[in-house]
Amino acid sequence: MSRFWNKLVATLDPYVPGEQPRLQNLLKLNTNEHPYGPSPKVLAAIAAQTNDSLRLYPDPTALVLRQAIAKRCGLTPEHVFVGNGSDEVLGHVFHALLKQEAPVWFPDITYSFYPVYCGLYQIKFRAIPLDEHFKIAVKDYLPGAATETARGADVLVGTSVSASASVAARAGGIIFPNPNAPTGRANPLTDVEQIVEANPDIVVVVDEAYVDFGAQTAATLIEKYPNLLVVRTLSKSHSLAGLRVGYALGHPELIQGLDRVKNSFNSYPLDNLALAGATAAIEDEEYFETTRNAVIHSREALTVGLQNLGFEVLPSAANFVFARHPDHKGADLAAGLRAKNIIVRHFNKPRISDFLRITIGTDAQCAQLLSACRELVTH
């Protein structure tokens, strides 16, 4: 706390990213990074950058990368916005599109950065409970479906109001990940389309950070629905968490709105190395397919292995599993694994405090995790 902070800064409750310890012999399964490195073509494209790549400013419109993404998705560059990781893209999305009079709706158990953006940009939000199977229930996102009794109060971070709990439920925007995080559960495209179609007057954002590991993308619906925005990242399925590249796909008018905010903040969020590496990653479809299929395969084997040890594992369409054991507390298991030099993510939050979120590693890493879990649950 400092007397030089403004009032808003004092109210912020910043996002806490998973730890990034640089310890030898640590098995790091806590932040959903890809176990295989990026395509060799990415490394070559970055290495091929010249003196001028650093001497000159990058292209503020990131046109070449946007063209590559558009081609891959069957859209035009006017449908594509890029940013410094999807976290930055999401920040602009909250600022430019989800900050409205009515609260933004998102699941109660979801990516914990969403309420943080709401705090920063002073956006009211309403947390919609997942159903008893930890799934997003479509009916809860249809206009008029949610009542104040079912949904609880709206929240405006930094105030004590239950803003409009008694007002008829109306969303100013909707955002959810598909697959959801940290549950890993995916909704079928028909569910997503129902939500988008039923809410034509507000923006519906689908955060597809993990979509490549087993869910259906909503990018195919973009030309049909001007209120749909899909946000993606190269951090997970393209193994480029360290390069910081994310993007959004949507109607050109939505993209223009994001551009206005971005160009009022930072003209060059992606440097020349990131632009070159990301373009090469998008273009190397063969490497992408092989490595993401390997992760999916390992996930299925790990799921069975955990189930054999008595864990309940939610069906995952992501590069992680969300699992709990009936006889052991999540915090104890996380601490036990840490003592064995394995870190996983544990959220000390209502409804999910007994779960562990475990990133899928190589088969050898999954085997190491399983043997550590076996020791913990059988002693």
Which residues in this chain contact ligand PMP in the complex, by CB under 6 A? 85-87, 111, 177, 181, 207, 209, 233, 235, 241, 246
Nearest CB to ligand PMP, comparing residues 177 and 330: 177
> Which one, 27 or 231, has the nearer CB to ligand PMP?
231
Q: How many CA atoms lie within 13 A of 313 on its CB side?
A: 21
Min dist CB 171 to ligand PMP, Å, is 19
Positive or negative torsion for Cα 164, 230, 213, 376: negative
For the CB of residue 367, give the shortest distance to ligand PMP in the complex, in Å. 25
**SS3 letters for 9-57?**
HHHCCCCCCCCCCCCCCCEEECCCCCCCCCCHHHHHHHHCCCHHHHHCC
77 versus 91: smaller Cβ distance to ligand PMP: 91
With respect to ligand PMP, which residue has the nearer C-beta, 39 or 237? 237
SS3 percent helix, strand, coil of the chain, rounded to 5, is 40, 15, 45
Integer Cα distance of 302 and 359 in angstroms: 10
DSSP code, position 218: S
Nearest distance from C-beta of residue 11 to ligand PMP, angstroms? 23
What is the Cα–Cα distance from 195 to 185, expressed in whole angstroms? 17
- Whichever of 184 and 305 has its CB closer to ligand PMP, that residue is 184
Of residues 164 and 233, the one with the C-beta less far from ligand PMP = 233
Radius of gyration of the chain (CA): 21
Taking the complex as a whole, the smallest distance from the CB of residue 255 to ligand PMP amounts, in Å, to 18
Q: How far is the CB of 182 from ligand PMP (least distance, A)?
A: 8
Closer residue to ligand PMP, CB minimum distance, 110 or 227: 110
Closest separation between CB of residue 181 and ligand PMP, Å? 4
Report how many helices (DSSP H) and strands (DSSP E) the chain contains, helices first. Answer: 13, 12
Q: Measured from the CB atom, is 83 or 305 closer to ligand PMP?
A: 83
What's the closest the beta carbon of residue 226 comes to ligand PMP, in angstroms?
23
CB of 357 to ligand PMP, least distance (A): 10
Give me the helices (H) in 240-283, please.
252-262, 272-283
Closest CA to 87 of 114, 106, 69: 114
Beta strand 228-233 pairing with 173-177: unpaired
Q: What is the C-alpha separation between 144 and 173, in angstroms, rounded? A: 14
Nearest alpha carbon to residue 71 among 234, 217, 276, 279: 279
Complex with ligand PMP: residue 27 or 241, whichever CB lies closer: 241
Q: How far is the CB of 229 from ligand PMP (least distance, A)?
A: 13
Provide the terminal-to-terminal Cα distance of the chain, rounded to the nearest Å.
45
Please provide residue 197's backbone torsions phi and psi, each rounded to the nearest 5 degrees: -70, -35
